[in-house]
Structure 1
Amino acid sequence: MTVTFESLGVPANIVKALAAEGKTEAFEIQAATLADTLAGGDVLGRGKTGSGKTLAFSIPVVARLAQAKADGRIRRTSGAPTGLILAPTRELATQIAAALNPLAQTADLVVTTVFGGVKQGRQVEAFRRGVDIVVACPGRLEDLMGQGIVRLDKVQITVLDEADHMADLGFLPGVTRIMKATPADGQRLLFSATLDNGVDVLARKFLHSPTLHSVDEASSPVPAMTHHVFEVAPDRKNDLVAELASGSGRRILFTRTKHQARKWAKKLTSDGIPAVDLHGNLSQPQRDRNLSAFADGSVRVLVATDVAARGVHVDGIELVVHVDPPAEHKAYLHRSGRTARAGSSGDVVTVCLPEQRRDVAQLLRKAKISVSPQPADARSAAVDELVGERAPRVKPQPVQPAQAGSRPSQSRPARGGGRGSAGRSGSGRGTSGASRTGGQRSAEGAESRRGGDARGGSARGGNTRGTAHRGTSARGGSARGTGSRGGSARGGAPRSGASRSGTARNA
């Protein structure tokens, strides 16, 4: 039975904005929850990835804040948002904001995002001007709260999205502190694929007599998703993966490690199949650029680690390839959920080496997926049928040589665990966007890393990336150079040499 947004009581301005994007009929999770959320009740919504949860909470957030604003019960105040949406990763926060903005604009509500991995200046300025709705990752939000830049005592409605993933990443202590900072009588909405790992405790603690809406089992596969297991000899795996990537539609290739994601994106591009990578070692501008290229069709292939298993919400992904089978079944389901979203169909391929046969069988059994492995290589008929129309090969663009006298970037990944000391005051420990609050380290990507934006102090780290400030070294390994502001670099084999900027560079 077709259920329209209008029939569910969604305000006319929001219905119009949704219709402009071709969204006129509510998905199951939206139809199940909107009556309660629009009425102001607390709701616990459980639905698998790709079921439409983002709109299920975005609509009531905008509708209820718009009504409160019209009634004069709230007003935009510097540093005090009235709507809060918490998300586990910056990719997800960015995409929630993208879905939320068209609705918020109809009610003159201002939306901003808050996450680590970028300098906080723009976020601080947004709060200074005044924000109605903030979509935030827990770590950076706690940082800003601790600095007195943002307070949550005016929040009318709070949403926890992908609560189970926040639990997996160790965010629940921070989420608990954030929730305690919001008014106890505010409306709370919690959406999650599962209710384990402490999510149920969170719901009992902060939701008041919530209505539970569960549209499917936590582990239920998407009916429109077809699963395949291709068993391939080790020496033929690379050719098979390249063939799977060669189709004309969008596809995501998942790897276990950041190194493999980089390697595959580079290899495919050099072979005429433009690809971008997505993993925890990328800066936020790099992530945004790569995701944008994938979303707008500039490239058709995204090679990602599990950082993208819940953070990528792009329509029209026809194929997901598990280049490396994931470690556990929940990761398999979330990776696979990038395709067959919101009623569309899609295919999922697991590339399996003979020695992985037993582990893959166990993985699929736990995920409640019934599929028989089949021998395959790049020339198999099953592969040819699945890939379909091949995209034209694209000649790789030549790399432009660096200009004479240009200086290397200060934000390149480090190669070692050296230590640089410099700067004007004390020592700092950088986390490249991952923050420590109350002794807890928060990783706003699914893969956290150390080192980074250590201001006026020392940056320590293994595989680090960051910006060095006033004689600060942010790269590990052997150091060279001395700073002009009293900074020195040590660690590994030191080399002397003047540095105009005071930046200690470690090889």
Structure 2
Amino acid sequence: MTAVTASANFEQLGLISPLLARLAELQYHSPTPIQTQVIPNVFTGTDLIAGANTGSGKTASFALPMLQHIVEQKHTGKSESSKANKGNYATGLVLVPTRELAKQVADSIKSYAAHLNGAVKTVAVFGGVSANTQMLALRGGTDILVATPGRLLDLIASNAIKLDRVKTLVLDEADRMLSLGFTEELSKLLALLPNKKQTLLFSATFPEQVQSLTKELLHKPVEIQLQSSDASTLVQRVFTVNKGQKTALLAHLIQQHQWRQVLIFVNAKNSCNHLADKLSKRGIAAEVFHGDKGQGARSRVLAQFKSGEIEVLIATDIAARGLDIEKLPVVINFDLPRSPSDYMHRIGRSGRAGEVGLALSLIDHEDYHHFKIIEKKNKIRLEREQVAGFEADEISPDSILAPAKPMAKPEGTGKKKRKKRKKQINADIWLKNT
């Protein structure tokens, strides 16, 4: 394959004129590095694993060649899509971890296909909304199916869609797809797919699960690694603060800088509501975004946040994956993510597509060790800063106020001590043999 330089334009990548016209309308002036490298490789039909920071343009990198391939196959009469019209089949399958990402990816694909005169049918299926509507949309099959695993399995069980004619499989946000909650569902879906297909795997981070999947699922894949933990357009800062002052510091920063759009991450659904109430008492209106909200409410909140109607949004990690919020200026970790890889996904909501962004983490004494782990795993090192009036004490106030631990009871002597020691030896032997 001929190498494509970073300065290549979309025409040099071999895209057809209807796609080029649409990209011009969307003001995509030149391909991003991930698009420059991925698009030619997708055209060759090889398996691929690609890593790049969020906001790098990876959706277009797989969507554009998929669309072109389907159109060209239809024109030559060789397309499985023509067969799909006679049954509930799909030609391309994109698996994503969240409802919001499913809708976003499908909307992007439909947008890129605007000048293809309806030649490519794209359907998104995900939970939280009526399955009947999605079943109707799948009648006669579809060219590209964007889906979350759980809802897709439900639709397969209802005979609404079949996967045995899929030609291209895309795993978007692959590290999340391979987490504990998706492993079983993903295994069931992979078993329903044909052995002969092109598989494209995209991930911003590459934990061991992703690396093992490449060996099992992909055949001689091309590897493209462009992700960087030091995105020049995104500034990362860390403020240390006493735990009891964290909310006050957050309110102070929002009011002092007069941020008109800020995304705040916490780790639990009830923490969203609790923090929103605390900010409300300080004169800051905030909305929440988490899994307990219905899909309609989630979609409305997200749309209002994107449009600027909502200025402060408090969310769990369902907002950390793939959501494209144009020119989002500030992301704040009020709670540190449990997984170091989720740190990069969270802060990647800002500083997207070359825009300047700011990612703040507010850490108290209990967070210090965990943040060091986040830094180590992501190969970063950030200076600890303090805000005047909210300085963290050298020693946690909680440790000073904590009651002294009672002294341990003596182990015992003589016969009791020997009996206790014998039990411990037997336990050690059992553990060793299991």
Scaled to the shorter chain, the TM-score interval is: 0.7 to 0.9
Which residue number in structure 1 is paired with residue 23 of structure 2? 18
CA distance in 2: counterparts of 1:364 and 1:202, whole angstroms: 25
Structure 1 position 63 matched with structure 2 position 68: yes
Which residue number in structure 1 is paired with residue 36 of structure 2? 31
Distance 1:150 1:297, change over 3 A: same
CA distance in 2: counterparts of 1:154 and 1:61, whole angstroms: 15
Note the residue ranges of structure 2 that are not aligned, 5 or more in a row.
1-5, 392-434
Which residue number in structure 1 is paired with residue 249 of structure 2? 240
Which residue number in structure 2 is paired with residue 301 of structure 1? 312
Which residue number in structure 2 is paired with residue 346 of structure 1? 357
CA distance in 1: counterparts of 2:320 and 2:184, whole angstroms: 23
Residue 117 of structure 1, CA deviation: 1.9
Does the CA-based 8 Å contact 1:232-1:377 persist in structure 2? no
Give the TM-score, by structure 1 length: 0.70
Does the CA-based 8 Å contact 1:255-1:304 persist in structure 2? yes
Letter in 2 for 1:9: G
Note the residue ranges of structure 1 that are not aligned, 5 or more in a row.
381-507
Which structure has more relative contact order (CA 8 Å, sep 6+)? It is 2
Does the CA-based 8 Å contact 2:122-2:145 persist in structure 1? yes
Tell me how many residue pairs correspond in the alignment: 378
1:135 to 131, 146, 168: 146
Residue 266 of structure 1, CA deviation: 4.6
Q: Which has the larger radius of gyration?
A: 2
Q: Percent identity?
A: 34
Look up the SS of the partner of 1:96 in the other structure. Answer: helix
Structure 1 position 257 matched with structure 2 position 262: no
Look up the SS of the partner of 1:204 in the other structure. Answer: helix
Q: Output the aligned Cα RMSD.
A: 2.2
1:40 to 34, 45, 48: 45
CA distance in 2: counterparts of 1:200 and 1:237, whole angstroms: 38
Deviation digits for residues 146-184 of structure 1 (CA, Å, limit 9, x no counterpart): 221110122221111111111124323322332332232
Letter in 1 for 2:112: L
Which residue number in structure 2 is paired with residue 226 of structure 1? 235
Which residue number in structure 1 is paired with residue 221 of structure 2? 210
Give the alignment of 1:83-162 within 5 angstroms.
83-107=92-116, 108=118, 109-162=120-173
CA distance in 2: counterparts of 1:337 and 1:295, whole angstroms: 16
Residue 378 of structure 1, CA deviation: 7.3
- Decide which structure has greater helix share: 2
Letter in 2 for 1:29: I
CA distance in 1: counterparts of 2:128 and 2:336, whole angstroms: 28
Residue 199 of structure 1, CA deviation: 2.4
CA distance in 2: counterparts of 1:262 and 1:166, whole angstroms: 27
Look up the SS of the partner of 1:198 in the other structure. Answer: helix
CA distance in 2: counterparts of 1:294 and 1:88, whole angstroms: 21
CA distance in 1: counterparts of 2:190 and 2:326, whole angstroms: 32
CA distance in 1: counterparts of 2:376 and 2:213, whole angstroms: 30
Give the alignment of 1:89-488 within 5 angstroms.
89-107=98-116, 108=118, 109-216=120-227, 220-246=229-255, 247-268=258-279, 273-376=284-387
Does the CA-based 8 Å contact 2:90-2:165 persist in structure 1? yes
Which residue number in structure 2 is paired with residue 413 of structure 1? none
Letter in 2 for 1:193: A
Instruction: Choose 109-118 or 243-252, whichever is displaced more.
Output: 243-252
Give the TM-score, by structure 2 length: 0.81
Does the CA-based 8 Å contact 1:243-1:378 persist in structure 2? no
Look up the SS of the partner of 2:138 in the other structure. Answer: helix
CA distance in 1: counterparts of 2:123 and 2:286, whole angstroms: 29
CA distance in 2: counterparts of 1:248 and 1:214, whole angstroms: 34
CA distance in 2: counterparts of 1:159 and 1:181, whole angstroms: 15
Letter in 2 for 1:191: F
CA distance in 2: counterparts of 1:362 and 1:18, whole angstroms: 41
Does the CA-based 8 Å contact 1:249-1:317 persist in structure 2? no
Residue 123 of structure 1, CA deviation: 0.7
Which residue number in structure 1 is paired with residue 91 of structure 2? 82
Residue 252 of structure 1, CA deviation: 0.8
Residue 99 of structure 1, CA deviation: 1.3
Distance 1:171 1:359, change over 3 A: closer
Deviation digits for residues 306-334 of structure 1 (CA, Å, limit 9, x no counterpart): 11111422121111111112223212111
Distance 1:269 1:20, change over 3 A: farther
Distance 1:379 1:202, change over 3 A: closer
CA distance in 1: counterparts of 2:248 and 2:261, whole angstroms: 19
CA distance in 2: counterparts of 1:270 and 1:13, whole angstroms: 53
Deviation digits for residues 287-311 of structure 1 (CA, Å, limit 9, x no counterpart): 1111111112221222111111114
Letter in 1 for 2:147: A
CA distance in 1: counterparts of 2:283 and 2:180, whole angstroms: 36
